Amino acid sequence: MHIQEEKIVLDIEVPEGDVSKDMDVFYNPEMVHNRNVSVAVLSALMNGGTYCDVEFDSLKSWKIALPLCGSGIRGLRFLTELEVGRIAKFYVNDKRIGFEKDFKELAAVNGVSLDLVPKETKGQKLEGSDLDIKVFEKDAELFLLDNRHFDYIDIDPFGSPNPFLASSIARLTRGGVLAITATDTAAFTGTYKSVTRRKYWSSSMYNYMKHNVGLRILIRKVQLLGAQFDKALIPILSYHKGHYYRVFFVNKNTKTACDQVLKQHKYFLYDKKGIDFKVSYDTVWIDGDRRTEEAKVRPGVQVAGPLWSGELCNLDLLRMISHKDMFELEKEFFEGLEREAEFEERNIGTDRKVGFYDMHILASYLKLKEVPKFDEFLAKVKGVRCSFSRMGFYSKLSSCDILEILKNY
């Protein structure tokens, strides 16, 4: 099928039903958003600025690696949409037999020359002829072991990113950015609890907050692996969409920063009876499972974690992305994340950064036959929409106050 995504055109199979890892390379239109966000984030970072106390030089020459390049469309979009003068090294890889030939042909069709000569430069913008582009056809881990010192590594696998995390983190530079996609969301959301424990060293939660909790479990797993290399990996933009999670980490690369990150690994408590939630440090073992002291005396409390209890997105980065206004299709998405980050910065205490309310859950708890219009209700509870649920919202008010407002609406 003939496809055009932004400036790139290609002829490729588009699966009609469910996809599987046994399939040959294919084009997934649901991942256009993923690639748009990646271009927007990289473009904003290349513009310079300080995010999570890491300074990005506007003259920096980036070294980029795509170990799992698949069809090659992500790589070619980077080359055609990012400022070429800002990329020093661009390495793409996929273990699929014939990938190197296919990528070069796709590049030629789209007018992208790969016959460029590398040239040593430092602190200066690069010209097109200074760009070092290489195409590999290796196992992703071997590719990462054979190459090093990347400022941006993008891991976009089918399923779990686990097999590629350690080698990617090891090759990430100080101040570098690691982008992770995970499509095995069932492992994070309470569907397969044993898988969560085995692969992600945590306990999940199956309720309306499952994706908020699941995303934070993924973040913690990556951070634990980073700490082994004395690399503090802090999320600067993370979200859930459809069938996948996506997180962009910045590497602070100090032992002190690692210790600060680990202090934000906590447990999340959800009181189903009181429709309330909080984070906690204290844990014990109950019936072979880890639970908090509070849950021990309150059986109605569900517990998930350990998980990342810090910010999911950096507000300054979101503002920079909105300012650049690159993709009309993603404008509402970025504006939503920005509103959430602003609200979090203004209102929510350290024990309330995890979790959110859902109007339908609250209405069901009160056994209401009718519910108010969502936007009107948000104004009453002084809340903002939550990206994890259609009727989800954040509010500084207590659950008791929110329930009272809803009951008397």
DSSP string across 81-149: HS-GGGEEEEEEE--STTHHHHHHHHHHHTT----------SSSPPPGGG-EEEEE-S-HHHHHHH---
Residue 348 maps to a domain: no
Structure tokens given for 215: 């995303």
Domain containing 377 equals 356-407
Mapping DSSP to helix (H, G, I), strand (E, B) and coil, where does residue 399 land?
A: helix
Question: Does 284 score more than 50 pLDDT?
Answer: no
CA distance 172 to 12: 32
Residue 349 maps to a domain: no
Question: If we measure between CA atoms, which residue out of 228, 216, 226 comes closest to residue 251?
Answer: 226
The pLDDT value given to residue 18: 59
Question: Does 26 score more than 90 pLDDT?
Answer: no
Residues 86 and 188 in one domain: yes
**CATH code (residue 389):** 3.30.56.70
Residues 363 and 277 in one domain: no
**CATH code (residue 302):** 3.40.50.150
CA distance 9 to 15: 17
Residue 103 maps to a domain: yes
Question: If we measure between CA atoms, which residue out of 100, 102, 97, 38 comes closest to residue 64?
Answer: 38
The pLDDT value given to residue 350: 57
The pLDDT value given to residue 74: 94
Residue 391 maps to a domain: yes
Residue 345 maps to a domain: no
Residue 350 maps to a domain: no
* Between residues 244 and 19, the one the model is more confident about: 244
Residues 287 and 365 in one domain: no
The strand pair at 150-155 and 172-182 is best described as parallel
* Mean pLDDT of the residues in the chain: 87
| DSSP H stretches of helix in 229-384 | 255-262, 293-297, 315-324, 331-347, 359-366, 374-381
Question: Does 2 score more than 90 pLDDT?
Answer: no
Structure tokens given for 365: 């708890």
Question: If we measure between CA atoms, which residue out of 168, 162, 157 comes closest to residue 188?
Answer: 162
Domain boundary among 304, 335, 366: 335
Residues 220 and 76 in one domain: yes
Question: Does 125 score more than 70 pLDDT?
Answer: no
Contact of 247 with 179, CB cutoff 8 Å: yes
Mean pLDDT of 319-343: 89
Structure tokens given for 372: 């108010």
Domain boundary among 335, 366, 391: 335
Top-ranked range on mean pLDDT: pick from 218-222, 266-270, 326-330? 218-222
Residue 344 maps to a domain: no
Residues 262 and 373 in one domain: no
CA distance 115 to 176: 26
Residues 148 and 230 in one domain: yes
The pLDDT value given to residue 12: 64
Question: Does 325 score more than 90 pLDDT?
Answer: no
Residues 274 and 371 in one domain: no
pLDDT in tens, 348-400: 665 667 899 999 999 999 999 888 999 999 999 999 999 999 999 999 898 99
Domain boundary among 276, 302, 335: 335
Q: Which residue is listed with tokens 């890491």?
A: 54
Residues 128 and 64 in one domain: yes
Residues 377 and 329 in one domain: no
Residues 231 and 271 in one domain: yes
Residues 142 and 172 in one domain: yes
* pLDDT band with cut points at 50, 70 and 90 for residue 226: very high
Residue 285 maps to a domain: yes
Structure tokens given for 57: 């030089």
Whole-model pTM: value is 0.91
Number of independent structural domains in the chain: 2
Residues 377 and 324 in one domain: no
